Structure 1
């Protein structure tokens, strides 16, 4: 029999609950990415003098995934209803500007983030883009802190643990993004590429909470379920730390050296934790199905 905590999880807030606006804004990113992708396939990405529609494709898709992931977990935060409304509205407005600046400016032949020899309008768009990026970080960090409150833990404990790990990883991604902005380049040192650290940190927002969502559906005791989430989250963070160290040293990530190998092992452990949870869910589902058929006979 499952514990009271399990029953609380079943009765807790649902993923995406009340976040239709964020979901639609995230889906808009996929639509814009599809438009940019089709253009790139037909005409190529680069548009003189400094635009690149393929970069708009990757940006819009990444922001779309980020917003959908955020929409999924926001109902589980400790934010009050009014605070969630303000966060949602502000984030939608900021995201819409980011979509527009990235897409329109690249189609106009201008890099919106690193404007070179642009007009006064282009400079203004770029400066405002930088401010929007900082506001996206500040508001998200405020929302992220709410998952470390006891109220969020009481709503759905396993999900709260997983999201906490994800928020730490997202903070690392934000730091990497600021690093890129300050250096005006994604490259560092001889062969370092900051974009790996930037991107993989955000993917924790899908990877670790997914493990939490799976373990909620198992019949294991609370201690075993949470241990699996801790394994998935801590190993992901250790892998991210190894990548960060390699990047700081200005070395390529795809090389046979201790840090990339350690990162790979850590990510495999995190993946294995998720696979273990999935296997248990599938096994228990089959068992329940067999019992129902037996009762029916």
Structure 2
């Protein structure tokens, strides 16, 4: 990155996103302290675990978006405005999650009382607004020409994979028959929410869990730009690097689809059946073959 580009990036730092990042980092520390001193549990997990995870997630998300806006070659007021909307709805989302955790109540899918139902409705609307605002930022990034093609591919593909992560969460709110009064949605499939789960993530070890695909997809926003950065440090040319990025993004999207399909069949992440293993194996083999051919073409060239 040239000195001029770096200076332009500093001048176009999106302060609301950076403020969100800092606020979420502070909240992560506060909720981490809550994990240490408050032994209350909800659905088998400490009440402060969910706000802690969301605080970390939004801190990473906000920082990544702020960086993306800073490296776009042209300032986009539409993208900046959409990012400010993202900040607003993110604050609403995390505030409700934290408030409900402090009360010892569920935040997601909770229609137990009119007040809980209203909070859940606000959260649902906030996520829809966040999705649309993120889509706007993705479209702006797709339309602008970044001077570094490899970085451009990494940013664009990362933004698109995050959109896929949003879509992977849709089945969570489509389950209305959970068997629990006042609960209209679930993370788990085939078993109630709150059963045995993996450490920290809480992903079900006895049934399917739709959070897996959502998590993997959302973090494509960081994974693809990082891969692009690493590829620029190799001897591969621009053409080979971009083809490798497209191959990696395809494999990443296929992974999101496979783990979501696995979850929808009520299957734990760590207990895949033959069909899931076959699908995953096909993706791995196809990715390795494509990657090998791309690298060999670079050596021949």
Quickly name the TM-score band, shorter chain normalised.
0.7 to 0.9
CA RMSD of aligned residues (A): 3.4
Residue 52 of structure 2 corresponds to 57
Structure 1 residues 117 and 90, CA gap change in structure 2 (3 angstroms): same
Residues 196-242 of structure 1 deviation map (CA, whole Å, 9 limit, x = unaligned): 00101111111111011222344532222223322332222222222
Residue 243 of structure 1 corresponds to 259
Residue 109 of structure 1 corresponds to 104
Q: 2:22 aligns with which of 27, 43, 46?
A: 27
Give the structure with the larger helix fraction. 1
Contact kept? 2:97, 2:107, Cα under 8 Å:
yes
Residue 197 of structure 2 corresponds to none
Structure 1 residues 250 and 137, CA gap change in structure 2 (3 angstroms): same
CA distance in 1 between counterparts of 2:40 and 2:131 reads 28
Give matches, 1:275-294, under 5 Å.
none
- Residue 80 of structure 1 deviates from its aligned partner by 4.4
CA distance in 1 between counterparts of 2:255 and 2:116 reads 38
CA distance in 2 between counterparts of 1:16 and 1:242 reads 42
Equivalent residue of 1:252, what SS?
A: coil
Deviates more, 1:182-191 or 1:129-138: 182-191
Equivalent residue of 2:169, what SS?
A: helix
Residue 135 of structure 1 corresponds to 129
Q: 1:170 aligns with which of 162, 177, 185?
A: 162
Residue 18 of structure 1 corresponds to 13
Contact kept? 2:262, 2:269, Cα under 8 Å:
yes
Structure 1 residues 110 and 209, CA gap change in structure 2 (3 angstroms): same
Residues 51-83 of structure 1 deviation map (CA, whole Å, 9 limit, x = unaligned): 922111112211222222222223345874321
Residue 188 of structure 2 corresponds to 187
1:82 and 2:74 matched: no
Residue 220 of structure 2 corresponds to 204
Residues 83-141 of structure 1 deviation map (CA, whole Å, 9 limit, x = unaligned): 133123212211111121111121022222222433x4433222211111110111111
CA distance in 1 between counterparts of 2:250 and 2:48 reads 36
CA distance in 2 between counterparts of 1:62 and 1:236 reads 19
Structure 1 residues 208 and 157, CA gap change in structure 2 (3 angstroms): same
Residue 214 of structure 1 corresponds to 230
Instruction: Give unpaired runs (5+ residues) of structure 2.
Output: 176-184, 192-206, 296-301
Residue 223 of structure 1 corresponds to 239
Contact kept? 2:110, 2:117, Cα under 8 Å:
yes
CA distance in 1 between counterparts of 2:284 and 2:33 reads 33
Number of equivalenced pairs: 262
Residues 241-262 of structure 1 deviation map (CA, whole Å, 9 limit, x = unaligned): 2223322333222125442475
Structure 1 residues 79 and 196, CA gap change in structure 2 (3 angstroms): farther
Contact kept? 1:253, 1:260, Cα under 8 Å:
no
- Residue 180 of structure 1 deviates from its aligned partner by 1.0
Residue 196 of structure 2 corresponds to none
CA distance in 1 between counterparts of 2:10 and 2:132 reads 23
1:92 and 2:93 matched: no
Residue 144 of structure 1 corresponds to 138
- Residue 23 of structure 1 deviates from its aligned partner by 2.0
CA distance in 2 between counterparts of 1:263 and 1:29 reads 35
Equivalent residue of 1:255, what SS?
A: coil
Equivalent residue of 1:94, what SS?
A: helix
CA distance in 2 between counterparts of 1:78 and 1:233 reads 23
CA distance in 2 between counterparts of 1:137 and 1:161 reads 21
